[in-house]
Structure 1
């Protein structure tokens, strides 16, 4: 039985439809990440699951029961928001145990559950502190601890790391991943950061304008994108896409020299930056001029002006020295090419 099931779920605000027929199953213990550009509906969909937004059409099942019309308090779910929303006058322990206290739980049960959550999140030394005495990462751990003590069916995370600096985000990604391993509870996590999506998820749900563009493991989405939108959204830097046309067993267009295996109906060719190597002028798929060099240490990104093909990003070793203005040939790995048709779907 799935932990959470969405059947034809829609959301309308007046005449505007923002969620357009979502069907999805989240298995017990699964970590599912909703990702997509701003305005795609990922936070709205999460709030619908949590009961903070009404479901206009369709059904929501939690542990097999119809929870479509249930209030948030009856769904057995818990949410962690971008804002920590801690009570400033309460200690860490009081904040974590407050929901149990309001539910009338015995004091010894509250203490036991708060202590267990604090141990998981390494908050034991901080239990008597107030939120003003904590760092951003510590406050977020307290907010997560407040959810753990309720022993929910599933955790819902709405961009919980957006307020943290880069170093803290890396640390908290690790903490959330370890937390999932320990608790083995279903988690649905909303983010616009594809690094968080790729590193945390068992499965990623890519949303585009209120619809599911593709669902799959991080590797499936990266290596076998369903369409151009997913191909260019997943991956950093994004996939290079350029026009092409099949010609027999080869493809060519706008200066791209052909290679094998182009499917019928292809009008665009996609290749990721790491699947391009540098060669001599006249060698490979096309030639270009190095426009920008972005040195990142282990890697260097080259932005190559390839004329009518536009700018092509190439990932090379950081030990390789290149200068703006150099002419280079670009060699595409023929086994790693992706082709798209007129409708943008992979062919």
Structure 2
């Protein structure tokens, strides 16, 4: 009941095109995340689906029905905003039941649905409080509860966690993931935080300047990025992107040595290596020598930021027990997957 199809959707603001022909099939019950840098069009696309932005061209279909020209109230969707948008003079119960009250629902139905939503979101002890007496995470749960009581076809989330501190973001990510498992409804979630995207999504839609750069599961995007944009955007820390040159039928990092098992990548001008796919070896060995500039200790892991003469900066993920320190010189060896990209930034498989 929550299948959504975007058919060549476009959005123009006078002469400026911000959404450039998006095609996407969203399955019933799927958790889709739109992710990308500021200005890529992810929030605009979400608002077009919700009916808050007019669709300039193309077609939007929900459960087989063309809703392109329908107002938001006719689309059966519910939106959760970044700003919570709660009524400060109303209690939590009144905020959550307000949409049902304005629709003329019986009081018994409103009470039942509000109580059910409060149970799911663990808000039962706060129903008589006003928003000012709640924490940021509790306010966001109230905003989500207000959406749940409407029993929508799909939920739309527009960067709902960006106003929360780091600890609350982790907690609310868990709450939203559990909510999806409990309700089984279609959810479309917008964020600029690729960690949220990786931990929540069934599939991620990476947007770049109003177009889809790649669609796939978090694992697919991490392990097989389609282009340089996706490779650099997905992953924290980001993938190392290094210039390369042909070498005896294979590839060598610029200023370094030949990379083992790098044949068959004709046309490659850059290679990509995740920080965890590099290992430290003795200077003069491996594919490249580098000098440690910064050590970021994170407990179980340490990230070494290294400088090279010609290939730029490199990040290596090491065990937290490493004794490397700034000024040390080491060789870097490939221990995992190698990615190669042509002059247009497209991945070479």
- Determine the structure 1 residue equivalent to 2:337: 336
The separation in 2 between residues aligned to 1:341 and 1:110, in whole angstroms, is 58
What stretches of structure 1 of length at least 5 have no aligned partner?
none
- Determine the structure 1 residue equivalent to 2:192: 192
- Determine the structure 2 residue equivalent to 1:311: 313
The separation in 2 between residues aligned to 1:204 and 1:315, in whole angstroms, is 25
* Corresponding position: 1:167 with 2:167: yes
The separation in 2 between residues aligned to 1:184 and 1:146, in whole angstroms, is 17
The separation in 2 between residues aligned to 1:246 and 1:188, in whole angstroms, is 43
- Determine the structure 2 residue equivalent to 1:157: 157
Q: 1:266 aligns with which of 259, 265, 268?
A: 268
The CA deviation at 1:246 is 2.9
Comparing 306-315 with 246-255, greater Cα deviation is found at 246-255
What stretches of structure 2 of length at least 5 have no aligned partner?
none
Q: 2:285 aligns with which of 277, 283, 286?
A: 283
The CA deviation at 1:2 is 6.3
- Determine the structure 2 residue equivalent to 1:239: 239
The CA deviation at 1:244 is 1.2
- Determine the structure 1 residue equivalent to 2:225: 225
Contact 2:253 2:288 in 1 (8 A): no
- Determine the structure 1 residue equivalent to 2:213: 213
The CA deviation at 1:260 is 2.0
The separation in 1 between residues aligned to 2:193 and 2:256, in whole angstroms, is 32
Q: How does 1:1-347 map to 2 (within 5 A)?
A: 3-258=3-258, 259-262=260-263, 263-333=265-335, 335-347=336-348
Residues 196-218 of structure 1, C-alpha deviations (whole Å, 9 max, x = no match): 00000000000000000000000
The CA deviation at 1:156 is 0.1
The separation in 2 between residues aligned to 1:142 and 1:149, in whole angstroms, is 11
Residues 121-148 of structure 1, C-alpha deviations (whole Å, 9 max, x = no match): 0001111111111000000000000000
The separation in 1 between residues aligned to 2:304 and 2:344, in whole angstroms, is 30
Residues 276-334 of structure 1, C-alpha deviations (whole Å, 9 max, x = no match): 0000001101001101111111111111111110110001011111110001110112x
The separation in 1 between residues aligned to 2:149 and 2:253, in whole angstroms, is 60
The separation in 2 between residues aligned to 1:64 and 1:244, in whole angstroms, is 49
Q: TM-score, normalised by structure 2?
A: 0.98
The CA deviation at 1:254 is 1.9
Secondary structure at 1:309's aligned position in 2? coil
The separation in 2 between residues aligned to 1:289 and 1:308, in whole angstroms, is 12
Residues 148-183 of structure 1, C-alpha deviations (whole Å, 9 max, x = no match): 000000000000000000000000000000000000
Secondary structure at 2:347's aligned position in 1? coil
CA-based RMSD of the aligned residues comes to 1.0
Secondary structure at 1:118's aligned position in 2? helix
The separation in 1 between residues aligned to 2:328 and 2:276, in whole angstroms, is 19
The separation in 1 between residues aligned to 2:237 and 2:125, in whole angstroms, is 41
The CA deviation at 1:248 is 4.0
Secondary structure at 1:231's aligned position in 2? helix
The CA deviation at 1:75 is 0.3
The separation in 1 between residues aligned to 2:181 and 2:111, in whole angstroms, is 24
The separation in 1 between residues aligned to 2:166 and 2:328, in whole angstroms, is 34
Contact 1:2 1:25 in 2 (8 A): no
The separation in 2 between residues aligned to 1:317 and 1:158, in whole angstroms, is 37
Residues 95-138 of structure 1, C-alpha deviations (whole Å, 9 max, x = no match): 00000000000110000000000000000111111111100000
Contact 2:2 2:29 in 1 (8 A): no
